Amino acid sequence: MKVFIARPFHQPAAKLLNSKYDVEVWKETTTPPPEILKEKVSTCHAIMTEGFDPINKEILASAENLRIISNRAVGTDNIDIKEATQKKILVGNTPGVLHDSCADFTMGLILSLSRNIFRSAHMVKSKKWEKLDQYSYLGSDLHNKTIGIIGMGQIAQAVAKRCKGFETRILYFSRTRKLELEKSLGLEWCDDINDLLKTSDIVSLHLPLTDTTRHLIGTRELSLMKKSAFLINTSRGAVVNQNDLVTALKNNSIAGAAIDVTVPEPIPTNHPLLSLDNLIITPHIASAAKSTFENMGIMAAENIISALSGTPMPSCINPEAL
């Protein structure tokens, strides 16, 4: 059987797959062009993709023998799941191996933003440190503050665990209430997202991108937040209405934002977000720690092996495809 791996970075995963299948590895470091993806979904039984490779209806129209799309990501919004399911193609993802790395990164963003670490370090490296003046760089403490976490999946839980260590009050809003976690992590449930937005000093988004979560945060929600509050987004760019965020940051209606995800990615160099001093943007790297990157690759390979051998996959998004 033929397997296509859409990046050259995943040697341990490729080794695992090579022992069983005829594996082709894409040599470029970016998403293969649509014509290549079309060819591969037509000729291969499995493809291993990154979370940003668009496997849409048009690409899937060429799928003939494809049995699994294995995403090396927890998010699968890059794949048309409905179309894949109709075509009886399984979709795999990689939860359970990246939440701690994403949570570490989220804490990094929160501290860089609230304590002005990024802005002040950039000032020094730009050779603009001309006088000793702490006053211009006064930040906000994290301890004793209130963080509002939207979503309460594995990444959100790992963030909450870390915030407990920082002695923050932790509010959360999610579809389902988690009573056990409320006890063990001292979480406080908000059954109304508006209450969380109004009360939090930091709002951190940990949701998948779906039709329901697209533009969940826009002008109305940003205007409910405190003027001193920060927004953190490591989920997906489209969960926030980016134009509304630009306006809120320009008007200082919130104090700042740190985002690891944008629409599109990469963000165009002339985008208005890039001219804002109260914004940190990183290039979609929250999960990108060495061992996590490798473990995600191995899990994606294991999803392929299970799907092609007809055994239960470590993580399947659409088991009903069978």
* CB of 149 vs ligand DGY, minimal distance in Å: 17
CB-wise, 93 or 112, nearer to ligand DGY? 93
Q: Nearest 10 degrees: CA dihedral of 285, 155, 114, 182?
A: 180
Known active-site residue 119: no
CB-wise, 73 or 255, nearer to ligand DGY? 73
Under rule CB under 6 A, which residues in 288-317 are in contact with ligand DGY?
Answer: none
Contacting range for ligand DGY; rule: CB under 6 A; set: 56-64, 73-81, 176-184, 270-278: 73-81
Under rule CB under 6 A, which residues in 43-72 are in contact with ligand DGY?
Answer: 51
75 binds ligand DGY (CB under 6 A): yes
Only one residue has tokens 């979480």, namely 187
Asked if residues 24 and 46 have their Cβ atoms less than 8 Å apart, the reply is no
Determine the Cα–Cα distance for residues 318 and 92; give it in Å rounded to an integer. Answer: 8
Angle at 118 between CA 114 and CA 124, to 5 degrees: 130
Instruction: Catalytic residue, from 45, 284, 294, 302: name it.
Output: 284
Q: Nearest 10 degrees: CA dihedral of 91, 288, 186, 184?
A: 60
Query: Which residue type, as a one-letter code, is found at position 108?
Result: G
* CB of 119 vs ligand DGY, minimal distance in Å: 25
Which residue among 14, 37, 98, 255 contacts ligand DGY (CB under 6 A)? 98
Known active-site residue 236: yes
CB-wise, 78 or 199, nearer to ligand DGY? 78
Known active-site residue 265: yes
C-alpha closest to that of 208 among 41, 3, 71: 71
Which residue among 287, 292, 306, 318 contacts ligand DGY (CB under 6 A)? 287
| % helix, strand, coil for the chain, step of 5 | 40, 15, 45
Q: Which residues belong to the active site?
A: 236, 265, 284
Binding site for ligand DGY (CB under 6 A): 51, 73-75, 98, 287
